[in-house]
Structures are given as structure tokens and as C-alpha cells.
Amino acid sequence: MNRWDYNGKQVALVDVNNFYVSCERAFNPTIRKKAVCVVSNNDGCVIARSAEVKAMGIKMGTPLFQIRGLLASRGVEVRSSNYTLYHDMSERFIDCLEQFCPSVEQYSIDESFLHFEGFGSGLDAHCQRLIAAVRQCTSLPCCAGIAPTRTLAKAANHFAKTLGVPGGVLQITDEYHRQQILQQLPVTEVWGVGSRLSKRLACLGITTAWDLSASHIPTMRKAFGVVMERTVRELQGIPSVDLAPMDKPKDEIMSGRTFGSKVSSYTGLMASLANHVTLACEKLRAQNGATGRVTISIQPTRQGDYSSPSVSAYSEVRPATDDPQTILAVVRQCLGEIYREGKTYRRASVMLSSIETANKTQSDLFGLATEDRSGINHCLEAINQRFGRGAVTFAATKLSKDWEMKREYLSPSYTTNVKDLPIAKIS
DNA sequence: TCTGGGGTCCTAGGACCC
DNA sequence: TCTGGGGTCCTAGGACCC
């Protein structure tokens, strides 16, 4: 038995190639052979690229306005991000994975860790069948990396994708193989090592994943902390990272967005914040929570190349509540504290924290019951669910339109809106 | 009132992820 | 002129307590 045989436990990282682009292509055959990129909210910057676009040297996060000309001259199809479509496709993807593995741990919208035990040498073939099934059921292309730890599985997946391995699966099977893989992987590509850490690592002569894996753990812990120690162990093949389960109730809930165009009026900011209160409260109620602390922040427009720091204000809410109207009143008061007339702003957000479970919130002193609006809140939610988000909103959200998103290149919601169902023509 | 050390709890901020 | 959003985990430092 070699050291890779952890009671036969293996983890596979399966992720969809260029997820957002692949979703756009799934329902639009005319762009399957074309270069495609997807841009962020407000059509701000590039957040997904097809292989052709990557080959043009266009980097992740490039502002759209800088490359409009280039994209047009190369015939690149641009799409605004369509999260309704992507979330629905993500659910279909995960449904498919669950047919092949009893223990699926969703990590992000397009990635999941699959835990297998006792598969032996048949795991590679099993994952190849899984990938073929995903392709058939959803038309999404994906790859898998298999190893004893999540960090190594990530590394294997990286090469499964970039080397175009047949079948789309790469498994690290022994010590020699691990060394080969890690020696070819720049340390920047290691899961958990970002740009800052990799710069500091370079000063110590650590430039590949293999260098990092061979580093002295106590030294690394002292210099970089426990997160780095765990990364090193994972690279060595010792499972050391645990993920918080996705269905765990959130400790804090945030809703924020950059405006479609600059906002300078109090009512404009309030309109945006009221919208975020509604969205945040939907999430809060979905996890049966109540918030005890509301924080708002507004960010002034950038000065030249530098982004201005955001300004924030918070207030405790006692007793904790899930009522948007109560929260809205708090938000209004906070905005009054930090709003400066004459300044222009680019972004606003609302954060709910100190979240408790709604049915065991402390009642306030003397048991003064706050007005019970749960009936009306459920009613509003039901209307919005049936007729679409925004069918009923607080008056404040309608006072100004400046904050609304710019989405010039939006594709239809093929899978979630009857009006947008694709039409098949038989000729 | 001063002296001190150690523990806990909270918050802000950094780094990272996709 | 135009540069995303939502989250996690960890650490340091301050306040408070005994």
C-alpha cells in the first residue's frame, strides 16, 4: 500500500469550463463556434472568456471600455451577465453530479468537490462517464482532477483543463506523479495562494507548487499563519482543509451594487439602499433569521486611478428583526449621518449582521411588542415570486432610476421565463 | 490607588476565492 | 466618461474582567 491509499479516499474537483460562456452557448448554437465573453454587472469588466478570447490575451477583469474596439474588430460576441440563467444551469449541473456520487460538496456556482471511497483504479473511468453525462444532459463541458486532498485535486484539475487530457480527467496516482504535477504548477495557481502571498513567497525562492510543498512547515506557519500551513499539508497529500457547508445559515448577509450611472442625490442613494434592503431581507427570511445590526456603506466615485474608500454607518436593532420597514427606517437614519451633499457616489450596500434565528430572538425590555408585519411581508414576497422581482417595492426604490444596472447585451432567461423559452423549428 | 498577567469577547481589516 | 458581488477565515488590537 502506498501513501496515496488513504483508505481508498479520493476527492475529485469537477468544474465547468468557462461556465458563463458555456451557459450562453448552451441555448444559442450560433455562438458555439465564435469567440464569446461575458461581462460583469453594469457591463463593467470581463468575467468569463471562451478559449478564443483567452488566446487573444484578454485578461480576466479587463474593463470593457478599454477593449470594445478590439472585441468588435475580432468579432467577439459580448454578453451581459445573466445570473438567472447561470443559477438555473448550475442546479442542473449539480443534479447530474449527484447521479454519480453520493457525497457532492458544492464549492461555487460551477465547481464541486466529489468525495469517493473504495473506488480503486476504476475512478478515472467513472469520472469520464460523469463528464459525458453532464455534456449530454446540460451541454456543459467540464473537467475533473482527482487526488487525496482538495488542494491537489484543484492542481490536477488545472492540468486536466489546460492540457486538454482525453476524457477530461486527470488523476494524481502516485508520489512521482505528484512531483511532476507540482513542479509544473506556478505557485500563484495554488488554491489559497493569491497575488500578494505569491510575491512574498517569491522572496523566499518559492515559485512552484513543488517548492511550497517541500517548504519547512513551522517556518511557513510562523511567517504566513495557519492557512498557509494547511495549504502546504494539502499539497503533501494530507487532508487539512474543511469547507463550511453551503446550507449553513449565513453569519452576515450583504447586498450591494455599483450604480448604472453616478448618483449624487439623497433620494437616489436611498432608492438603491431600499432595493438592497428588500433583497437582503429575502435572504434573511429564507434562512429564518433576524438581524440585530444593520450597516450601510456608500462609496464616492473614484478619483483618477484611485478608488475612494467607502464610508459606512451602522446601528444596532433591538429586538432583532426581519422586517424590511423597520430596517429601512434604520437605513434612512444611517444615511443621514454619512451623506454629503455635492459628492457623487458609485456604489451602495446594505449588510445585515448579528443574525439570530427568528423564533428565538430576545423580546425587548418590558415585552413591548413591535408591530407584527409578518403577514404583509409574506404577502409582498408571494406577489414578487409570482409576478417577478420588483412587482411590488417600497416607494423609496421608485424615486430614482440612476442606480439601476446597465445590461446592454443581456441574453434571454431561456430556462426560467416562459416568454423566453427557445423555439425549435423542424424543417 | 497601584502593580501585573492572562483570559475572553468583540471589531476592523487583510487576504483569498470564484 | 465608463473598472463586479458575495462570501469565508484568520489575525491583531482594544476593552473588560479577575
Place of cell 457591463: A43
Residue A152 shares a structural domain with residue A273: no
**Do both A296 and A346 map to the same domain?**
yes
Q: How far is the CA of A33 from the C1' of B2 (A)?
A: 80
Q: Please, are residues A45 and A68 in contact by the beta-carbon 8 Å criterion?
A: no
Same domain, A345 and A318: yes
Which tens digit of pLDDT belongs to each residue from A412-424?
A: 888 877 778 777 7
User: In which domain, by residue range, is A260 found?
Assistant: 253-363+370-398
d(CA A218, CA A237): 17
Q: For residue A282, tell me if it sits in a domain.
A: yes
Is residue A207 domain-resident? Answer: yes
Nucleotides of C under 7 A from a protein CB: 1-11
| Residue A230 and residue A93 in one domain | yes
Alpha helices of A364-403 — where are they, by DSSP H? 374-387
The residues close to strand C, meaning Cβ under 7 A, are A 40-42, 44-45, 47, 61, 63, 65, 225-227, 244, 248, 250-258, 279, 283, 301-302, 305, 346-347, 349
Question: Residue A361: its pLDDT value, please?
Answer: 44
* End residue of a domain, out of A187, A209, A235: A235
Q: Give the total number of structural domains in chain A.
A: 2
> Which nucleotide in the DNA or RNA is closest to residue A225, CA to C1'?
C10
Q: What is the pLDDT of residue A54?
A: 92
The span from the CA of A225 to the CA of A210, in Å, is 19
Protein residues bordering strand B (Cβ below 7 A): A 107-111, 154, 190-198, 293, 314, 354
Strand B positions within 7 A of protein Cβ atoms = 11-12, 14-18
Residue A334 and residue A377 in one domain: yes
pLDDT tens digits in sequence order for chain A, 427 residues long: 455 665 689 999 999 999 999 999 999 999 999 999 999 888 889 999 999 999 999 988 899 999 999 999 999 999 999 988 999 999 999 999 999 999 999 999 999 999 999 887 899 999 999 999 999 999 999 999 999 999 999 999 999 999 989 899 999 999 999 999 999 999 999 999 988 889 889 988 999 999 999 999 888 888 888 889 999 999 999 999 888 777 788 888 889 888 888 888 998 899 889 989 988 998 888 888 888 888 888 888 877 666 777 888 888 887 888 889 999 998 998 888 888 888 888 889 999 888 887 764 444 444 444 556 666 666 766 666 655 556 666 666 665 666 777 788 888 888 877 778 777 777 6
CB proximity list for A26: less than 8 A, separation 6 or greater: A89, A138, A139, A140
**Do A109 and A222 lie in a common domain?**
yes
Alpha helices in A139-207 (DSSP H): 150-162, 175-184, 195-203
- Residue A351 domain-assigned? yes
Closest to A356 in 3D by CA, of A329, A312, A317: A317
Query: Integer distance in angstroms from CA A218 to C1' C10?
Result: 17
Whole-prediction pTM value?
0.88
Do A221 and A269 lie in one domain? The reply is no
Supply the CATH number for residue A291's domain: 3.30.1490.100
Q: Is residue A313 part of a domain?
A: yes
Domain co-membership, A172 together with A309: no
Measured CA distances, A330 to A39, A61, A186 (Å): 34, 35, 48
Whether residues A314 and A282 share a domain: the answer is yes
Whether A226 and A296 share a structural domain: no
Neighbours of A67 (CB within 10 A): 20
- Give residue A333's pLDDT: 87
How far in angstroms lies nucleotide C13's C1' from the CA of residue A352? 24
Any idea which nucleotide's C1' is nearest the CA of A19? B18
Distances (CA, A) of A49 to A36, A81, A86, A357: 6, 12, 15, 41
- Of all nucleotides, the one whose C1′ comes closest to residue A108's CA is B18
Asked if A345 and A264 touch (Cβ cutoff 8 Å), the reply is yes
Burial per residue of A349-369, b for 16 or more beta-carbon CB atoms within 10 angstroms, e otherwise: bbbbeebbebeebeeeeeeee
The integer distance in angstroms from the CA atom of A71 to the C1' atom of B3 is 71
A248 within a domain of the structure (yes/no): no
A279: nearest nucleotide, CA–C1' criterion: C6
**Nearest CA to A184 among A165, A163, A169?**
A163
Distance CA A316 to C1' C17 in A: 24
In a domain, A345, yes or no: yes
**Residue A179: φ, ψ to 5°:** -60, -45
Q: Which nt sits closest to A250, CA to C1'?
A: C7
- The predicted structure's pLDDT at residue A393: 65
The CATH number of the domain where A152 resides is what?
A: 1.10.150.20
The Cβ of residue A150 has, within 10 Å, a number of other Cβ atoms equal to 24
Give the domain-ending residue among A203, A235, A267.
Answer: A235
The confidence score (pLDDT) of residue A159 equals 95
Same domain, residue pair A216 and A271? no
Whether A329 and A359 share a structural domain: yes
Residue A156 lies inside a defined structural domain of this protein = yes
- Whether residue A263 lies inside any domain: the answer is yes
Spatial distance between the Cα atoms of A376 and A238, rounded to a whole number of angstroms: 53
